[in-house]
Chain A
Amino acid sequence: MPFCSRCQKPLQGALWCGACQHLQSSGLQADYFSVFGLPTRYDLDLKILEQSYHELATEMHPDFYATAPADERRLSESLSARLNQAWQTLQDPTARARYLTGIWQSQTPTHERDLPTGFLQEMFALQEELEELLEAKDQQALAAKHADFLQRLNDLRHNYQQQLIELKENTPDTTFCKQIQQQLNAERYLLRLLESCSPTSSETDP
Chain B
Amino acid sequence: MTERIIGIDLGTTNSLAATVFDQIGPEVIAEPGQTPIIPSVLTMREGKWIVGQEALIGSLQNPTQTLHSIKRLMGRSLKEIPAEEQAQLPYELLAGERGQALVCLDKQTFTPQEISAEILKAVKYRAEAILGENLQKAVITVPAYFDDVQRQATRDAARLAGLEAVRIINEPTAAAIAYGLDERKDGKIAVYDLGGGTFDISLLQLTGKIFKVVATNGDTRLGGDDFDQAIVGELTLRIQQEFENTELHSPLARQVLRQTAETIKIGLSQSNEIEYTISIEDQSWSHQGSFTMTELQPLLAPVIQRTLQRCQQALDQADWKVEDLDEVVLVGGSTVVPELRLQVKQFFGQDPQVAIDPYKVVALGAGIQGHLLAGGRRDFLLLDVIPLALGIETVGGTFSKLITANTTVPTEAKELYTTHVDNQTAIEINIYQGERELVQDCRCLGRFKLRGIPAMKAGLPLVEVTFLVDANGILTVSALEKRSQTDASIEVIPFHGLTRQEIDGLLEASYDHAIEDFAARQLIEFRQTAERVLHGIEMHWTIAETALAQQDCTAIRQQMAVVRQRMEGQDPQVLKSEMDRLGDLTRSLADTVMGQAVLSALQEQEATSV
Contact = CB atoms under 8 A, between A and B. Distances in A.
Binding partners A and B: yes
Interface of A: 54, 57-58, 61-64, 66-67, 77-78, 80-82, 84-85, 87-88, 200, 204-205
Contacts, number: 69
A81 B381 contact: no
Interface string B452-486: 00000000000000001111000000000000000
A203 B208 CA distance: 37
B410 A62 contact: yes
A28 to B, nearest CB: 10
A112 to B, nearest CB: 15
A57 B383 contact: yes
Nearest to B312: A204
A188 to B, nearest CB: 15
Given A81-B468, A204-B313, A63 B372 contact: yes
Contact of B407 (A63, A88, A205): A88
Given A58-B209, A205-B435, A67 B372 contact: no
A81 B411 contact: yes
B316 A200 contact: yes
B210 interface: yes
B410 A54 contact: no
11 contacts: A61-B381, A61-B471, A63-B381, A78-B412, A81-B468, A81-B469, A84-B408, A85-B411, A88-B411, A204-B313, A205-B436
Contacts of B409: 81, 84
Interface in B331-378: 369, 372-375, 378
A77 B407 contact: no
B67 to A, nearest CB: 28
B207 interface: yes
B468 A63 contact: no
- Decide if the interface of chain B is mainly helix, strand, loop or mixed: mixed
Interface size class of B (residues with CB under 8 A): 20 to 34
Contacts of B470: 62, 77
Contacts of A77: 410, 468, 470-471
Most buried by A among B167, B436, B470: B470
Contact of B208 (A54, A66, A67): A54
B546 interface: no
Contact of B210 (A54, A66, A80): A54
Nearest to B413: A85
Given A67-B2, A80-B471, A81-B469, 12 more contacts: A54-B207, A58-B378, A63-B373, A63-B382, A64-B378, A64-B381, A67-B373, A77-B471, A78-B468, A81-B409, A85-B412, A88-B407
A81 B383 CA distance: 11
B30 interface: no
A85 B413 CA distance: 9
A24 B316 CA distance: 38
A11 B41 CA distance: 55
Given A54-B207, A54-B208, A84 B411 contact: yes
Contacts of B471: 61-63, 77, 80
A88 B212 CA distance: 13
A67 B372 CA distance: 11
Contacts of A200: 316
B166 interface: yes
A57 B210 contact: yes
A200 B209 CA distance: 35
A82 B411 CA distance: 7
Contacts of B5: 66
Contacts of A82: 412
Interface string B405-436: 00111111000000000000000000000011
Nearest to A80: B410
Nearest to A54: B210
Given A63-B381, A82-B412, A85-B411, A58 B210 contact: yes
Closest 4 CB pairs of A and B: A66-B373, A81-B410, A81-B412, A84-B408
Q: Which of A62, A66, A77, A85 has the most CB of B within 10 A?
A: A66
Contacts of A84: 383, 407-411
B411 A54 contact: no
A66 B374 contact: yes
A85 B407 CA distance: 9
Contacts of B369: 63
A62 B207 CA distance: 19
Contacts of A61: 381, 383, 471
A195 B63 CA distance: 51
Nearest to B309: A204
A149 to B, nearest CB: 18
A84 B2 CA distance: 29
Contacts of A205: 435-436
Contacts of A63: 167, 369, 372-373, 381-382, 471
Nearest to B313: A204
Nearest to A204: B313
A84 B408 CA distance: 6
B167 A88 contact: no
B209 A66 contact: no
Contacts of B468: 77-78, 81
Contacts of A87: 408
Nearest to A206: B219
Nearest to A77: B410
